Structure formats: C-alpha cells, structure tokens
Amino acid sequence: VAFGYRRVAEGEKQGLVNEVFARVASRYDIMNDLMSGGLHRLWKDDMVAWLSPPKGPAPYAVLDVAGGTGDIAQRILQAAGRNCRMTLCDISPDMLAEGRRRMQQTGFARRCRFSVGNAEALPFPDRSFDAYTIAFGIRNVTHIDRALAEAYRVLKPGGRFLCLEFSEVDIPGLDALYDAYSFTAIPAIGKIVTGDGAPYRYLVESIRTFPNQEAFKAMIAAAGFSRATYRSLSGGIVAIHSGWRI
C-alpha cells in the first residue's frame, strides 16, 4: 500500500502513520496554523456549519474519528445544544491525550468520551451515533473502504457522515503554486518547528495519493451512503464530503 510515495507492506503502514503522529502530537496545533496560514480553522468551522448540529434539548451523539487534538469536537459542542455528547476516537494515545488536555481546559471534557481505536475497526456497537465526523484523518487509514463501512455501521439510520480532507486543487495556476509550497515549504517549516521534516514529507505525499473529490464521493456512495455530495473549499485544497445513512 502507499505510504506517501513509498510502497510499504500492508501491515506496516499504520505503524508508520502512528510514529508520525506520536512525534508531532505536542506541536500539532501550531504546525496546523503555520502550514495552513490559519485556514484550517475556517475549514473546520465550515464542516461544523454544514453539520449544523441541533441546538434543541434532544440528545445528539457525535463520533469524531481521528479526533486528535479535539478541534472538531470543541467546535461541535460550541455549536450544539447542551445534550450533545461527543466521542473522540483516535488510534494515537498521544494525540488523544492532547485532546483530553485541551477539552479539560475549555471545560467541555465532561461532555466527551475518549476512546483509542482504529477507524477501520471501531470499538462501538452498530447504530450508536447521530453523526460521524472525520477531519484530516481518513487519508491516513490503510483501507479507506473499511473505514467508510465502519462509519456506516456505527451510524443510526438517518445519521450523517461528514469528512474534511485535502483534495484536488482545481484552479489553474494555484496547483503549481500549491505544489511548490507543499513540497518545499511544509517540510522546511516542519523541520524548524519539530526538528524533523520527514513526517511532513509523508503528510504532503499522502495528500497527493488520496482520491480526488469525485473519486472519493463514489467511494462514499459505494459504502452505502445516500445523497453523497461534496463542497470544495479554497480552490479544492480541501473538500468536505457528506453522506446520509438512510
């Protein structure tokens, strides 16, 4: 399977991905801001706006997979009614610990559960959640189709799937600029801030090998989701995909 541009044995990829995130966990937020010029905040706001979690008193259970540092969970809890409950699931205990620490700081931790788990084999029963979100996570999993099947399985009928992920730049001119920026500047910033550029080379390469908007939409539909659709943001640098379990 692809690990960035390298080919690695299927069983090897997740371990390599885990090493990347264990290494960057404590600097993860500042790196996001530096590398995206703060744009990741707007993209995450857009995803939560599209989810538009109910503000009323009805219970609403959201699973945020690859929940890392709690960025998505925090936004959802801010936007939703008081009976919204978040479950953060991440394969990296280091990223999850960072998330717990931050949710405690913001006072949202009592409405959160933290669970170490793999997107490809979620440790939750069928039909448990009203919504499933995943931001900048799915391109790290070894089998995207298995992760989508798991998302479908744990959603209740009527449940919503939303995924924020890097995608294909579709503005002529911006693509060349974006290439130059990502292949040179991002590993360089990574090296300065974390002392190691290699994890960031992987991150950039994994963006290029991820399916584009239409291909990913087809995968979501193939997993059984209805009304699969997407919105491209910032010229396609990222896209938000949506689907419903009917």
Member of 4, 68, 159, 243 binding ligand SAM (CB under 6 A): 68
Under the binding rule (CB under 6 A), the answer on residue 141 touching ligand SAM is: yes
- What whole-number distance in Å separates Cα of residue 125 and Cα of residue 152? 11
Under the binding rule (CB under 6 A), the answer on residue 95 touching ligand SAM is: yes
Stretch that binds ligand SAM, among 84-92, 101-109, 171-179, 214-222 (CB under 6 A): 84-92
Q: How far is the CB of 219 from ligand SAM (least distance, A)?
A: 16
- The set of residues, in sequence order, having a beta carbon less than 8 Å from that of 104 and lying 6+ positions away, is none
Between 176 and 210, name the residue whose CB sits nearer to ligand SAM: 210
Between 21 and 225, name the residue whose CB sits nearer to ligand SAM: 21
Strand partners, 65: 89, 134
CA 97 vs CA 102, 162, 241: distances in Å = 9, 24, 28
Q: How far is the CB of 17 from ligand SAM (least distance, A)?
A: 5
CA 101 vs CA 26, 57, 94, 138: distances in Å = 11, 27, 11, 23
Computed from CA positions of residues 222, 149, 120, 68, in that sequence, does the dihedral angle turn out positive or negative? Answer: positive
Member of 63, 65, 103, 238 binding ligand SAM (CB under 6 A): 65
Stretch that binds ligand SAM, among 59-67, 167-175, 192-200, 235-243 (CB under 6 A): 59-67
Question: Which DSSP state fits 224?
Answer: T
Give the Cβ contact number of residue 29 at 10 Å.
17
Under the binding rule (CB under 6 A), the answer on residue 187 touching ligand SAM is: no
Under the binding rule (CB under 6 A), the answer on residue 136 touching ligand SAM is: yes
Member of 74, 87, 92, 213 binding ligand SAM (CB under 6 A): 92
- What whole-number distance in Å separates Cα of residue 9 and Cα of residue 31? 29
Give per-residue burial for 61-87: e unless 16+ CB within 10 Å, then b: bbbbbbbbbbbbbbbbbebbeeebbbb
Member of 47, 51, 72, 86 binding ligand SAM (CB under 6 A): 72
Under the binding rule (CB under 6 A), the answer on residue 137 touching ligand SAM is: yes
Q: How far is the CB of 221 from ligand SAM (least distance, A)?
A: 22
Member of 3, 4, 13, 21 binding ligand SAM (CB under 6 A): 21
CA 16 vs CA 190, 203, 218: distances in Å = 17, 12, 28
Binding positions for ligand SAM, rule: CB under 6 A: 14, 17, 21, 65-69, 71-72, 90-92, 95, 118-120, 135-137, 140-141
